Structure 1
Amino acid sequence: MDSKISFVIPTYNDSPEHLKGAVASALSQEFGPSEVIVVDDGSTRADLLHFLETLPPSVEVVHQENSGPSAARNAGIRRATGKYIATLDGDDWMDPQFCGEATEVLADPAVEIAFPSTHHFGKEDFYRTVSQDFVLKDFMEMNKVPSAALFRRDRWDVVGGYLESLRFGMEDYEFWVRILRDGGIARPVPTAYLHYRSREDSRLATLDPGAARVTHQAIMAANPDHQAALLEAAFIRLEEMQELYLEYRGYVHQWQDRFRPLIRARDFTKNVLQRRR
């Protein structure tokens, strides 16, 4: 296993043009990956299947029955030979400096995940720029890292890969929790962005309201030896959120005090006008 990067791109009935952009962004990395692996998760689109046949020999294509994104990522990673794994969905693309920046970030042994900031485009268009580290407690509130990131292959081995029973859009969240459960850090890269295609029919856009609860239950079940760490992380985050709540409530009270004379004047004027009617 070398020190380079294996880029794993799962695809399921993606537009060939979208997948073409994802693969091109992997092949165009300034610090080139040692391999690019596209995992076809049982696609049925004839145009996509034809496109997969036209990919260059430098791109390995793996076909499997439809089993979900976790199984597709795991299948690609099993074939990977690099020390680092970069994940990317088949309808997104990554800035060319990502791999170089991410490997520098992972030079710190305390860092387990190097991730990009995010540019959402398509249905909506905005940038989410991240400059802070995240640890386990931060994930007790919500996911903090996009599905596309860089991590060490041996860490994937240790935690057992992606949980294949989760197939509704939060499997990466559960995986990141296991990656960070022993005290690791998720750190953003300096400048690279993941360009995330926002679609009406995306898995996240159609996420079931109960998906978060199912994911939390999966996190508990997948970490039987880390229950104390999860509970401590949850309490720490709860305490931080309580402090933020008190701070925000203080701001609200300050503005209420400032506007109270205006509110009284408004109510007085309203009563006067009502009596004159």
Structure 2
Amino acid sequence: MKVGVIIPARNALPWLAEMIGSIRRQTHPAHTYIVEDRGDDGTWDWLRQNPDSYDGLARNRRRLGWAGSLNAAAQLALDDGCDAIFTASADDKLHPDCVARCVAALEADGGQDFVIPYAQQFGEADAVQASLPDATLEDFAMWPPLIDKGLFRRETWETVGGYSLKATLPGTYGTAEDWEFWIRIWKAGLTRYAVVEQPLYFVRVHPGQLSDSRGEWHAATVDLYRELHPELPWTDESGVWPPRHRTTRRTA
């Protein structure tokens, strides 16, 4: 199975080499596809000077934000013949067995539509981000019960069409598009999935990233998603920050 790790990158110069290095060390061969989103810290120049660091590279003609850049990176991977794509961030890193474990789970039990591994935070926080193995569509009216990093069969991604630009909160370049993406996954009936209950993806948490000010953005996000998917059983507790329905647990 040819796997592509897809990475949107904007002002990611301090961390990108670490992520790329972790992809190169995978025990299952993985390919790297990066779309640079008009940053100004030298990331694009560094990438151009290090062509051995990736298998596909593009730069947006204008800033597209998280969703548009992720979709563009996915298209690079699919056009290059990848059978599955792993969603990633430029400032994170992978466990060496991440892709191998996810591929094995994707092909188990007659084949899955996608696979989600547990993730381990590092930096300012140290929680394990867990995902529910038996989520239902109703769960997504409260809070996403799955993290946004995982391995997707190409047919799954193409059927849903990737992230929707309609799900980006006006005035931002990205908030919680993965939440709306999951809703469309469930509506499409692509719910054969597995959760690898071991932290295989490492999420860098920057200073201030988990501040309570995010509550305002989440409240506006819920309002937007209510409009996009009014048939879900939204409640007054949907998207409450901090979330009451958590998919994280503290490490020992």
Q: 1:183 to 1:39 in 2, by over 3 A?
A: closer
Instruction: Name 2:220's counterpart in structure 1.
Output: 211
Matching residue within 184, 191, 195 for 1:188: 195
Q: 2:59 aligned to 50, 53, 63, which one?
A: 63
Residue number among 69, 75, 80 corresponding to 2:72 in the alignment: 75
> Any residues of structure 2 matched to 1:215-226 within 5 Å, and which?
215-217=224-226, 219-220=228-229
- The total of aligned residue pairs comes to 222
- 5 Å matches for 1:104-115? 104-107=104-107, 108-109=109-110, 111-115=112-116
How far off its partner does 1:209 sit? 4.0
Distance, in Å, in 1 between the alignment partners of 2:218 and 2:127 is: 24
More helix by share: 1
In structure 2, what is the Cα distance between the partners aligned to 1:128 and 1:78?
27
Query: 1:205 Cα deviation (Å)?
Result: 7.1
What is the aligned partner in structure 2 of residue 117 from structure 1? Answer: 118
- In 1, Cα distance between the equivalents of 2:223 and 2:18? 33
Equivalent position of 2:47 in the other structure? 52
Counterpart Cα distance in 1 of 2:193 and 2:135: 5
Greater RCO (CA < 8 Å, at least 6 residues apart): 2
Partners of 2:210 and 2:163 lie apart in 1 by: 17
* Change beyond 3 A, Cα 1:93–1:215: farther
Other structure's SS at 1:7 match = strand
Residue 185 of structure 2 corresponds to which residue in structure 1?
A: 179
Q: Does 1:84 align with 2:84?
A: yes
Distance 1:39 1:172, change over 3 A: same
The answer (yes or no) to whether the contact 2:113–2:153 under 8 Å persists in 1 is yes
Would you identify which runs of 4 or more consecutive aligned residues in structure 1 move more than 3 Å? 108-111, 128-133, 200-207
* Partner SS, residue 30 of structure 1: coil
Uncovered stretches (5+) of structure 1, i.e. residues with no partner: 222-226, 239-277
Aligned counterparts of 1:215 and 1:128: Cα–Cα separation in 2: 25
**Identity level (%):** 23
Structure 2 equivalent of residue 170 of structure 1: 176
Q: CA RMSD in A?
A: 2.7
